A and B are shown apart, each in its own frame.
Chain A
Amino acid sequence: MGEKLLMKGNEVIAEAALRAGCRHYFGYPITPQTEIAHYMAKKMNELGGTFVQAESEVAAINMVYGAASAGARVLTSSSSPGISLKQEGLSYIAGAELPAVVVNIVRCGPGLGGILPAQCDYFQAVKGGGHGDYKMVVLAPSSVQELYELTVEAFNIADRYRIVSMIMGDGILGQMMEVVEFKDKENIEKVEKNWATTGTQMKREHNTITSIYIEPEILEKHNQKLQAKFALIAEKETRVESYNCEDADIIVTAFGTVARIVKNVIKMAQKEGIKVGLIRPITLWPFPVKEFEKYADVPKAFLSVELNAGQMVEDVKLAVNGKRPVHFYGRMGGMIPTQKEILDKIKEILNK
């Protein structure tokens, strides 16, 4: 087995990116993710890679666009207000079909909001925060170990489909220290990037990276190609963890750090004779619709617990498709629900 270390979540993201072969990082400081930049500033110097502290998140994502065009594995990281600034670039990257990995350690909004944990950027991440019809693969780790594994996988997915992979965590995950076990050797998929603008060397026709197609017939075809790609990703890359769903009285759904709280709630409920299941989407897009369909007839109800005003619950309702009632419980502004709060909500639903 590999090396075991006690590390902070943000540093693990950076280390995982390096292990995945990323040698180009562009970012702008913002709490609570800046340790990623600190780690990269040191390590890229040692490894002969690129660390650029950009003048803004707008510039950083456009540097990512350039580096991805040139064929590199490239990372940027930020937090909610900074991710909003990156939306222009993300739309262009989607349109130009470039592979890149973007980390959002979400804080609470709207506006400058606060720096404490939240999941209020769910809509922005999964519905396409920028202009145009596009998707990003959105990965939602719930432990530091999973941050490592999914960050490595995010680079493979990005290269495989020429798409943005977003790692979405929160301040709890980014700031906490946990044991992480690194593999001795990473699974790095080698993808031929014959589309990249690396210079023709006078050996091929020139490559162009662009997202503009003035002719409507051509732009519609381009969009159809993108949609076909998104459909393929939905088929191949959906990830989900289910827990005690087979005979559950109620199935709770939660992602990221909230799912960990729910796992403890399940144990508390068991002592009181209440069977609680959990569906934890690991990919927020593609959303694990089939998993909800599979268990839609089992419980009396579903409950989505989120650190927002009710965002993923809309996708849960679409997936459950009216077969069972879908309830919501959320906290906002950096407040975290206690296990008892969630259990009380479960009892309230079941006793109705």
Chain B
Amino acid sequence: MDTVFKKPHALTDTTMHYCPGCTHGIAHRLIAEVIDELGIEGKTVGVSPVGCAYNNYIYFNCDMVQAAHGRAPAVATGIKRVHPDNFVFTYQGDGDLAAIGTAEIVHAATRGEKITVIFINNAIYGMTSGQMAPTTLIGQVTTTSPFGRKPELHGYPVKVCELLSTLEGAVYVERVSLHDVKNIKNAKSAIKKAFKVQAAGLGFSIVEVLSSCPTNWGINPVGALEWIKDKMIPVYPLGNFKGKDLEV
């Protein structure tokens, strides 16, 4: 019988621990498919974050390094500078990247570090049980904004792609979403291009991935995908912010 669909080699056989309806698993698979298709598993080193994906080093078959909260871009810098021919990616959530790790992500991009950042934006802290993130939407109820995020108290959602695309060292910046099949395909194309930009040594690349968190949003899995489409995308418009025309 012909095999028409299988698990990417870059993923291990370990069963994932993510909640039902969470899109982390899809994001992991897309990264692994790209690693397979580019044939770079043996030269790839991933950096795991702090957050729900803290132990995604058990899901990827490439070498992995677990980093402190927010420090993944600095850790990735160290790894890449030692072996510039290796592919180095970080996998970071919104608390990790856009709160505690703001300095590290901004300066890795500023330096044009030749790394690829996969930024999972689900507008909430998952692992610590649903606190307000820098990317939490106005009015969104979280455990630390129980009456909804209010601009006068909590400020406004951080738009990471818009922010980083002002930096010359960031050469490929794109925001994608995982709420339906068409967008998942687009997400994979963006991740692949980001890795190709790294292969070409052009500079820093980041793909922001709008993702679901049914558990902490308090919405069922299907409703969570609708919520991405109806609530998140208007605040975080999809598309390329930089590097659309790069030939890689």
Contacts and interface: CB of A to CB of B under 8 A. Distances in A.
Interface string A45-86: 000001010111011101111111111101000000000000
Q: How large is the interface on B (under 10, 10 to 19, 20 to 34, 35 or more residues)?
A: 35 or more
A58 B107 CA distance: 12
A112 interface: no
B151 interface: no
A305 B245 CA distance: 67
Interface in A323-341: none
Nearest to A197: B63
B103 A50 contact: no
Contacts of A52: 77, 81, 111
B75 interface: yes
Interface residues of A, number: 41
Interface stretch (B37-45, B202-210, B214-222, B225-233): B37-45
Contact of A206 (B61, B80, B107): B61
Interface stretch (B52-60, B133-141, B167-175, B177-185): B52-60
Interface string A202-223: 1100111111101000000000
A72 B78 CA distance: 9
B83 interface: yes
Contacts, number: 138
B64 A65 contact: no
Interface string B90-132: 0000000000000110110011000000000000000000000
Contact of A69 (B42, B43, B65, B111): B65
Interface string B137-168: 00000000000000000000000000000000
Nearest to B40: A199
A274 to B, nearest CB: 52
A66 B44 contact: no
A98 B45 CA distance: 16
A24 interface: yes
B218 to A, nearest CB: 26
B30 interface: no
B76 interface: yes
B76 A56 contact: no
B79 A67 contact: yes
Contacts of A211: 66
B82 interface: yes
B64 A66 contact: no
B62 interface: yes
B78 to A, nearest CB: 2
Contacts of B238: none
B60 A206 contact: yes
Nearest to A23: B82
Interface of A: 24, 26, 50, 52, 54-56, 58-60, 62-72, 74, 88-89, 92, 96, 197-203, 206-212, 214
Interface of B: 41-45, 47-48, 54-55, 57-58, 60-68, 71, 74-83, 86, 103-104, 106-107, 110-111
20 contacts: A24-B81, A24-B82, A59-B104, A62-B75, A65-B74, A65-B75, A66-B65, A66-B79, A67-B79, A70-B83, A199-B42, A200-B42, A206-B60, A206-B63, A206-B64, A207-B63, A208-B64, A208-B65, A210-B57, A210-B64
